[in-house]
Amino acid sequence: METVSAATGDIVTTSRLVWALIVPLLGSFLVSLSGKKPNLRESFSIVSAVILFSMVLSMVSPVLAGKTLYYQLFKILPGVTVSLRADAFSMIFALVASSLWIAAAFYSMGYMRGLHEHAQTRFNTCFAIAIFGAIGVAFSDNLFTMYLFYEIVSVCTYPLVAHHQDEEGYEGAKKYIVYLTTTAKGFLLPSLALIYVMTGSLDFPHNIHVGMFPADANSALVTMLFIFCLFGFAKNGVMPFHHWLPGAMVAPTPVSALLHAVAVVKVGVFCTTRVMLYGFGVDLMNLLNLGIPTAYFVGFTVVMASVIALTKDNLKARLAYSTVSQLSYIILGVCLLTPHGITGGLIHIANHAFSKITLFFCAGAIYVATHKKNISEMSGLARTMPFTFGAFAVASLSMIGAPPVAGFVTKWELLVGTIESGSLGILLVLLASTLLNVGYFAPVTYKAFFGKRPPGEPFEGIKEAPLSMVIPLCTASLISVIIGIYPNFFMNFVKAVIG
């Protein structure tokens, strides 16, 4: 290890980062080879998930001590490298993605076997590669590396979305890939080239203030690039490029859970916020007045997606639109450009992940136990599936932002941030969205606990889903509560980001 002193603390060159990438990649390789032995295959998944999580955990203490871990893999052109970096910002996402992979690995074992799904080897292989991509995004040191892993995630999740290989699956997957590659090629590729032409480099600086651009950069061009980056990372679900997300819900539920509540969509918001804070920098965004208008723009997504969620009877579709809405919370918070706003946005990466994965896990458990997809058919089910619906209720409280669940921390910080920035409109957006959240989550829980079973559909034969599903979903909802009561674990990283 060699240590180089830098303006923002120490930069430590370490190959640990590379190993963190090799683990899921190697895992996917072993999984693909062990297709004929399901038990061996699943244990490869779980073991790699555990190793990855422990490797990410081992980076916590150096990062919290103010160090930045760094490793350069390849030099493509002058100023364009494939380099990895673990700083406080990357740790938030890396911890979330790697810890929830463990839960999802257990859960998908129960789900896929419970439903006797086909092509489980392909499924598990692609799943591991997707995590590889997500970890790569979390640890990317520059825009090129980020783009590289972003595209890897797009491509390797395609087979997951198209998993069922029926007409609906193809349609959803087609929409998925068309939206994601078109926006990436159409917006990100020219942005990369333009930024390279303007600055001669694609490296992110080490704090959130300075940004990549020279002081004399053409402000119209920078504004255009900012818009390109907002839309280019379309995995962030900002309207109008959000349609792929509900479309991707044709995938098996573990995919929806980990990828479309955690890894894929968080890759989108992570990239967006990384580029906003580190690429453009708070100072430049303030100077060009890019913050509040963007906050209003994504505020539209927050409200609109919630309104659409109200109209959906399919539980996964409702959760999908809820995700669209909640993702924009993160961008909205960051765009407030005040310390509390940024805190609220970034902490929501973790808070939303744990709560939303619980909700998707519950939707999958309900489907495995009852083969019901629609909310209207779930009346009274809580009496036979108390753990699943209990977890669901807790997680939906988090989405609403009620104490003591994680979502409350977000909402608190966001509200303080809004008041700091003095924009009344954003305050109204947050309040309206909270009410709408109640509007589409409360009926689900209420009907499940207090509703009557429809005539002719007795309780006989309905019981909780297998333990390998119930335990992960209860764990995830428990974590939602814990990080609501003790938010400091993730808050430390956010504070380190803000500096």
Partner 1 sequence: MDFLIMNEGFPLLSTIVFLPLAGALILLFLPGENVQRIWAMAVTSVNAAISLPLYSRFDLTTAKYQFGEHVSWIPSLNINYTMGIDGISLLLVLLTTLIMPLCVLGSWTYIKVRIREFMICLLIMETAMLGVFMALDFVLFYILWEAMLIPMYLLIGVWGGPRKIYASIKFFLYTLAGSVMLLVAIIALYLKTGTFSIPMMMGQEYASNFQIWVFLAFFLAFAIKVPMFPFHTWLPAAHVEAPTAGSVILASILLKMGTYGFLRFCLPITPLATLSLGPYILWMSVAAILYGGFTALAQSDMKKLIAYSSVGHMGFVTLGIFFLNRQGLEGAILQMINHGVTTGALFLCVGMMYERTHSREIADHSGIAQNLPIFVSFLTIFSLSSLAFPATNSFVGEFLVLAGAFSVNKIIAGAAIPGAILAAAYMMRLLQYVLFKGPGRPDLADLNVREIVTLAPLLCFVFWIGLAPEPFLSVMHTSVDYLIQQVDVAKTAQIALNVVP
Q: Give the interface with partner 1 as residue ranges (CB under 8 A).
A: 74-77, 80, 82, 119, 144, 147-148, 151, 155, 159, 162, 165, 170, 173-174, 177-178, 181-182, 185-186, 189-190, 192-194, 196-197
Angle between helices 339-370 and 88-114 (to 10 degrees): 10
Question: Whole-angstrom Cα distance, residue 306 to residue 439?
Answer: 9
Judged by beta carbon, residue 137 or residue 336, the one nearer partner 1 is 137
Q: How does DSSP classify residue 374?
A: B
Nearer to partner 1, 28 or 358 (CB): 28
In angstroms, the CA 251 to CA 74 distance is 35
Q: Which amino acid is present at 101?
A: W
| Residue with Cβ nearer partner 1 (191 or 207) | 191
Say if residue 455 is preceded by a cis peptide, omega within 30 of 0.
no
Nearest distance, CB of residue 75 and partner 1, angstroms: 7
The torsion defined by the Cα of 319, 322, 326 and 332, in degrees rounded to 10, comes to: 150
Closer CB to partner 1, 197 or 424, in the complex: 197
Least Å from the CB of residue 193 to partner 1 = 4
Cα separation of 10 and 125, whole Å? 37
Closest separation between CB of residue 157 and partner 1, Å? 13
C-alpha–C-alpha distance, residues 294 and 353, integer Å: 23
Q: How far is the CB of 131 from partner 1 (least distance, A)?
A: 18
Q: Minimum distance from CB of 147 to partner 1 (Å)?
A: 6
Of residues 37 and 185, the one with the C-beta less far from partner 1 = 185
Q: Which residue has the tokens 């032409």?
A: 197
Could you check whether the bond before residue 240 is cis, i.e. omega within 30 degrees of 0?
A: yes
Of 107 and 158, CB closest to partner 1: 158
Least Å from the CB of residue 221 to partner 1 = 8
Secondary-structure percent of the chain, ordered helix, strand, coil, rounded to 5? 75, 5, 20
Smallest distance from partner 1 to CB 94, Å: 21
Task: Supply the minimum distance, in Å, between the C-beta of residue 186 and partner 1.
Answer: 5
Q: Tell me the two tokens of residue 162.
A: 């198209």
Pairing of strands 67-77, 9-13: parallel
Tokens of 45: 């998944």
Give whichever of 112 and 177 is closer to partner 1, judged by the CB atom: 177
Look at residues 148, 129, 127 and name the one whose alpha carbon lies nearest to residue 137: 148
Does residue 429 contact residue 366 with C-beta atoms inside 8 Å?
no
CA distance 305 to 322: 7
Nearer to partner 1, 72 or 314 (CB): 72
Question: Of 38 and 404, which has the nearer Cβ to partner 1?
Answer: 38
Shortest reach from residue 424's CB to partner 1, in Å: 38
Residue 60 or 119 having the CB closest to partner 1: 119
Residue 24 CB neighbour total at 10 angstroms: 27
Closest approach of partner 1 to the CB of residue 173, in Å: 8
Cα gap 494→89, rounded to integer Å: 7
**Burial degree of 167 (CB within 10 A; 0-12, 13-18, 19+):** exposed
- Helix count and strand count (H, E) for the chain: 21, 4
Comparing CB distances to partner 1, the nearer of 140 and 328 is 140
Q: How far is the CB of 22 from partner 1 (least distance, A)?
A: 16
Alpha carbon dihedral 283, 287, 289, 292, in 10-degree steps, equals 30
